[in-house]
């Protein structure tokens, strides 16, 4: 049954409220690999109090929140599903060896060059255990030149909990969640953390709903905080089927490789230059009329934006687009440096632009 949120504290409408960057950093720090998004879901539910007309959790763990439009009978009113995923890339424990070392199953795409000697947390029923993730093999002091050049596969990594085998087996089970251990922080105009993909978009959606708390939007808004995106857009598939939107908007991160060693034709987006309006990725081609509408809105309102083509990658937008008989859909993309590392970095200007662009459309 849908839960009725409490009313939000009164606050005057007017100029945009300051972004609550502490909320973003807390979201990034929370653990939540695909299928085990519980901590993120509970926090999202707490943040939705007073912001929506009703909210429910479906069978796959998606949070589905609704705002009614200001005039349900108005011509041109749409049922807009906006989806941002709660899960992060991580691991599951798949094997415990006879010395107590853990082997892992990856959930999501990792570049193993970024995984050497990383701190991790193994989330057991009894609580989290700190560990060290590193590949098997010799340290640099005794490795051959050829061995030092090798890039290991995920199956070669193990976790050292610093405990004996009996202690490990008493506390850890196959299937326990493993997350990278990294606290979010601010670096200049960047907010960096282990799970900006896609907690930064979760944050954008929450901030958009907060900005609308004292006014009804032009369109009916169905805000979906989805599960299991990193392993195949699974939560968004079932949510879109049930929601039956007339317009879809995926919210996700995209590459901002505006850094040394990358040619200008490979940058995709630039950090700090506005929200990306996705034209193409390897799972969807955005609906052209929506691309034009959002681009024109950004230009008319002076909201920084950039058109984006991503050669490889996908978002919840693809799941919405292919739902039932098909849904006009686009994805709004947050430029992010160092994607799928523990220092994923988003620019505060792009966060502001993302909220402003969503609000311009919904109002």
CATH code for the domain of 113: 2.40.30.40
Q: What's this model's pTM, rounded to 2 decimal places?
A: 0.93
pLDDT band, residue 15 (cuts 50/70/90) = low
The reply to whether 40 falls in a domain is yes
> Same domain for 74 and 164?
no
How many helices (H) does the chain have, and how many strands (E)? 9, 17
Q: Total domain count for the chain? A: 2
Mean of the per-residue pLDDT values of the chain: 93
At 70, give phi and psi (nearest 5°).
-70, -20
- Structure confidence at residue 138 (pLDDT): 75
More confident residue, 4 or 335: 335
Instruction: Answer yes or no: is pLDDT of 182 > 50.
Output: yes
Instruction: Answer yes or no: is pLDDT of 16 > 50.
Output: yes
Domain that holds residue 356: 21-88+194-362
Active site residues: 229
Contacts of 106 (CB under 8 A, 6+ apart): 89, 91, 154
The string over 214-228, giving b where at least 16 C-beta atoms fall within 10 Å of a residue's C-beta and e elsewhere, is eebbbbbbbbbbbbb
Percent residues over pLDDT 90 in the chain: 87
The reply to whether 84 falls in a domain is yes
> Same domain for 218 and 342?
yes
The reply to whether 140 falls in a domain is yes
Q: For the residues 108-121, what does the mean pLDDT come to? A: 92
> Same domain for 236 and 327?
yes
Name beta bridge partners: 220: 79
> Same domain for 263 and 162?
no
Instruction: Answer yes or no: is pLDDT of 261 > 50.
Output: yes
Identify whether the C-beta of residue 266 lies closer than 8 Å to the C-beta of residue 297.
Answer: no
Identify whether the C-beta of residue 310 lies closer than 8 Å to the C-beta of residue 254.
Answer: yes
Instruction: Answer yes or no: is pLDDT of 4 > 50.
Output: no
> Same domain for 58 and 204?
yes
Domain boundary among 139, 156, 180: 180
> Same domain for 117 and 168?
yes
CA 209 – CA 215 distance, rounded (Å): 10
């Amino acid at each position: 049954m849908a839960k009725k949120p409490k009313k939000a504290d009164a606050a005057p409408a007017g100029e945009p409220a300051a972004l609550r960057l502490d909320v973003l950093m807390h979201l990034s720090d929370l653990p939540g690999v695909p299928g085990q998004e519980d901590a993120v879901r509970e926090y999202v539910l707490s943040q939705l109090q007073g912001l929506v007309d009703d909210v429910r959790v479906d069978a796959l763990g998606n949070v589905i929140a609704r705002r009614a439009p200001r005039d349900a009978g108005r011509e041109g009113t749409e049922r807009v599903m906006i989806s941002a995923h709660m899960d992060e890339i991580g691991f599951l424990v798949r094997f415990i060896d006879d010395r107590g070392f853990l082997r892992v199953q990856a959930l999501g795409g990792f570049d193993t060059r970024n995984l050497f000697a990383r701190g991790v947390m193994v989330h057991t029923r009894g609580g989290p255990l700190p560990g060290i993730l590193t590949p098997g093999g010799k340290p640099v002091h005794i490795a051959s030149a050829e061995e030092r050049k090798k890039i290991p596969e995920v199956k070669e990594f193990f976790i050292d909990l610093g405990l004996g085998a009996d202690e490990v087996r008493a506390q850890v089970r196959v299937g326990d969640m493993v997350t990278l251990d990294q606290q979010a922080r601010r670096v200049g105009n960047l907010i960096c953390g282990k799970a900006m993909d896609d907690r930064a978009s979760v944050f954008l959606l929450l901030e958009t709903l907060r900005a609308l708390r004292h006014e009804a939007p032009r369109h009916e808004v169905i805000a979906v905080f989805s599960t299991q995106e990193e392993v195949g857009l699974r939560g968004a598939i079932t949510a879109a089927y049930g929601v039956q939107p007339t317009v879809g908007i995926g919210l996700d991160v995209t590459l901002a490789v505006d850094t040394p060693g990358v040619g200008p034709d490979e940058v995709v987006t630039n950090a700090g230059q506005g929200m990306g309006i996705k034209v193409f990725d390897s799972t969807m081609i955005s609906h052209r009329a929506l691309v034009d509408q959002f681009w024109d809105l950004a230009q008319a309102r002076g909201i920084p934006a950039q058109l984006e083509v991503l050669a490889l990658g996908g978002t919840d937008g693809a799941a919405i687009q292919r739902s039932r008989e098909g849904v006009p859909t686009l994805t709004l993309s947050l430029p992010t440096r160092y994607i799928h590392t523990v220092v994923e970095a988003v620019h505060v200007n792009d966060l502001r632009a993302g909220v402003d662009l969503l609000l311009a459309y919904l109002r």
